[in-house]
Amino acid sequence: MEKELKIGDAVWYIPDGYLLAVKCKIIEIDDEFDPVGGIIFYDIDEPVGHDLYEDELFLTKKAAEAALLVKYENRHYKYKDSPAVELDLYRKRKIKFIVSTWELLPQEKKREIDNWYNSLPPKIYNESWFNLASLVY
Protein backbone atom coordinates (compact mmCIF):
# COMPACT_ATOMS: atom_id res chain seq x y z
CA MET A 1 0.00 0.00 0.00
CA GLU A 2 1.38 3.40 -0.92
CA LYS A 3 0.20 5.00 2.32
CA GLU A 4 0.97 4.02 5.90
CA LEU A 5 -2.39 3.49 7.56
CA LYS A 6 -3.13 4.99 10.96
CA ILE A 7 -5.95 4.60 13.45
CA GLY A 8 -8.85 6.71 12.26
CA ASP A 9 -7.96 6.51 8.55
CA ALA A 10 -10.81 5.82 6.15
CA VAL A 11 -10.45 2.75 3.92
CA TRP A 12 -12.73 0.61 1.76
CA TYR A 13 -13.32 -3.08 2.54
CA ILE A 14 -14.88 -5.81 0.37
CA PRO A 15 -16.22 -8.61 2.59
CA ASP A 16 -15.35 -12.17 1.60
CA GLY A 17 -18.20 -13.74 -0.33
CA TYR A 18 -20.21 -10.55 -0.86
CA LEU A 19 -20.65 -8.27 -3.85
CA LEU A 20 -20.40 -5.04 -1.90
CA ALA A 21 -17.82 -2.63 -0.52
CA VAL A 22 -18.04 -0.47 2.57
CA LYS A 23 -16.10 2.59 3.67
CA CYS A 24 -14.84 2.13 7.21
CA LYS A 25 -12.29 3.39 9.69
CA ILE A 26 -9.19 1.73 11.07
CA ILE A 27 -9.82 1.23 14.79
CA GLU A 28 -6.77 -0.85 15.74
CA ILE A 29 -3.38 -1.72 14.27
CA ASP A 30 -1.59 -4.88 15.33
CA ASP A 31 2.08 -5.36 14.48
CA GLU A 32 2.95 -7.73 17.34
CA PHE A 33 4.08 -10.51 15.01
CA ASP A 34 6.80 -8.43 13.38
CA PRO A 35 6.88 -4.80 14.55
CA VAL A 36 9.92 -3.93 12.41
CA GLY A 37 8.61 -3.63 8.86
CA GLY A 38 6.76 -6.93 8.93
CA ILE A 39 3.14 -8.02 8.68
CA ILE A 40 0.62 -5.56 10.04
CA PHE A 41 -3.01 -6.41 10.74
CA TYR A 42 -5.90 -3.96 10.90
CA ASP A 43 -9.25 -3.91 12.67
CA ILE A 44 -12.06 -1.82 11.20
CA ASP A 45 -15.39 -0.52 12.46
CA GLU A 46 -17.36 -3.16 10.54
CA PRO A 47 -17.98 -6.76 11.63
CA VAL A 48 -15.34 -8.97 10.01
CA GLY A 49 -14.42 -11.69 12.51
CA HIS A 50 -10.66 -11.46 12.03
CA ASP A 51 -7.88 -8.94 11.54
CA LEU A 52 -7.27 -7.75 7.98
CA TYR A 53 -4.12 -7.55 5.89
CA GLU A 54 -3.48 -4.32 4.02
CA ASP A 55 -4.19 -6.02 0.68
CA GLU A 56 -7.80 -6.50 1.85
CA LEU A 57 -8.24 -2.73 2.20
CA PHE A 58 -8.49 -0.04 -0.46
CA LEU A 59 -7.63 3.64 -0.11
CA THR A 60 -10.18 4.93 -2.62
CA LYS A 61 -13.67 4.10 -3.77
CA LYS A 62 -12.34 3.80 -7.33
CA ALA A 63 -9.87 1.10 -6.25
CA ALA A 64 -12.62 -0.75 -4.38
CA GLU A 65 -14.90 -0.56 -7.43
CA ALA A 66 -12.20 -2.08 -9.64
CA ALA A 67 -11.52 -4.85 -7.11
CA LEU A 68 -15.24 -5.64 -6.76
CA LEU A 69 -15.58 -5.99 -10.53
CA VAL A 70 -12.62 -8.41 -10.59
CA LYS A 71 -14.18 -10.38 -7.71
CA TYR A 72 -17.42 -10.67 -9.68
CA GLU A 73 -15.66 -11.67 -12.91
CA ASN A 74 -13.70 -14.35 -11.03
CA ARG A 75 -16.79 -15.54 -9.15
CA HIS A 76 -15.33 -14.95 -5.68
CA TYR A 77 -18.64 -14.48 -3.91
CA LYS A 78 -21.58 -16.44 -2.54
CA TYR A 79 -23.77 -17.47 -5.46
CA LYS A 80 -26.94 -16.97 -3.44
CA ASP A 81 -26.22 -13.25 -3.08
CA SER A 82 -27.37 -10.98 -5.84
CA PRO A 83 -25.41 -8.04 -7.22
CA ALA A 84 -27.86 -5.86 -5.29
CA VAL A 85 -26.97 -7.36 -1.88
CA GLU A 86 -27.62 -4.90 0.94
CA LEU A 87 -25.12 -3.81 3.58
CA ASP A 88 -27.61 -4.59 6.37
CA LEU A 89 -27.87 -8.20 5.19
CA TYR A 90 -24.09 -8.60 5.31
CA ARG A 91 -23.86 -6.95 8.74
CA LYS A 92 -26.62 -9.10 10.25
CA ARG A 93 -25.21 -12.34 8.84
CA LYS A 94 -21.64 -11.58 9.92
CA ILE A 95 -22.56 -10.48 13.45
CA LYS A 96 -24.82 -13.50 13.93
CA PHE A 97 -22.02 -15.82 12.78
CA ILE A 98 -19.35 -14.20 14.98
CA VAL A 99 -21.56 -14.20 18.08
CA SER A 100 -22.57 -17.82 17.42
CA THR A 101 -18.96 -18.80 18.17
CA TRP A 102 -19.10 -17.25 21.65
CA GLU A 103 -20.01 -19.36 24.66
CA LEU A 104 -23.14 -17.54 25.80
CA LEU A 105 -26.71 -18.48 26.61
CA PRO A 106 -29.12 -17.98 23.70
CA GLN A 107 -30.72 -14.86 25.21
CA GLU A 108 -27.26 -13.37 25.84
CA LYS A 109 -26.31 -14.04 22.20
CA LYS A 110 -29.46 -12.27 21.01
CA ARG A 111 -28.65 -9.28 23.23
CA GLU A 112 -25.03 -9.15 21.97
CA ILE A 113 -26.17 -9.36 18.34
CA ASP A 114 -28.68 -6.53 18.83
CA ASN A 115 -26.22 -4.34 20.74
CA TRP A 116 -23.45 -4.81 18.18
CA TYR A 117 -25.72 -4.20 15.19
CA ASN A 118 -27.20 -1.08 16.78
CA SER A 119 -23.72 0.29 17.56
CA LEU A 120 -22.52 0.21 13.94
CA PRO A 121 -22.03 3.55 12.21
CA PRO A 122 -24.74 4.47 9.71
CA LYS A 123 -23.79 4.25 6.03
CA ILE A 124 -25.28 5.89 2.94
CA TYR A 125 -25.70 3.89 -0.27
CA ASN A 126 -23.31 4.97 -3.05
CA GLU A 127 -21.53 7.27 -0.65
CA SER A 128 -20.14 5.12 2.15
CA TRP A 129 -21.07 1.72 0.71
CA PHE A 130 -21.99 0.30 -2.67
CA ASN A 131 -22.82 -3.03 -4.25
CA LEU A 132 -22.14 -4.52 -7.66
CA ALA A 133 -25.55 -3.44 -8.94
CA SER A 134 -24.52 0.20 -8.64
CA LEU A 135 -21.56 -0.51 -10.96
CA VAL A 136 -23.08 -2.67 -13.69
CA TYR A 137 -26.81 -1.86 -13.87
Is residue 16, in this structure, part of any structural domain at all? yes
Whole domain around residue 118: which residue ranges? 10-136
Is residue 52, in this structure, part of any structural domain at all? yes
Is residue 4, in this structure, part of any structural domain at all? no
Is residue 1, in this structure, part of any structural domain at all? no
Is residue 96, in this structure, part of any structural domain at all? yes
Structure confidence by residue, pLDDT tens digits, 30-48: 876 665 666 788 899 988 8
Residue 97 Ramachandran class (φ > 0 left, ψ -120 to 50 alpha, else beta): alpha
Residue 72 has a pLDDT of 82
Residue 134 has a pLDDT of 86
Residue 119 has a pLDDT of 92
Structure confidence by residue, pLDDT tens digits, 56-79: 999 999 999 999 998 888 775 565
Residue 32 has a pLDDT of 67
Structure confidence by residue, pLDDT tens digits, 106-133: 889 899 999 999 999 899 999 999 998 8
Residue 34 has a pLDDT of 60
Domain count, the chain: 1
Is residue 125, in this structure, part of any structural domain at all? yes
Count Cβ atoms below 10 Å from residue 87 Cβ, excluding itself.
Answer: 21
Q: Answer whether residue 21 shows pLDDT above 90.
A: yes
Is residue 34, in this structure, part of any structural domain at all? yes
Is residue 28, in this structure, part of any structural domain at all? yes
- In contact, 39 and 33? CB cutoff 8 Å: yes
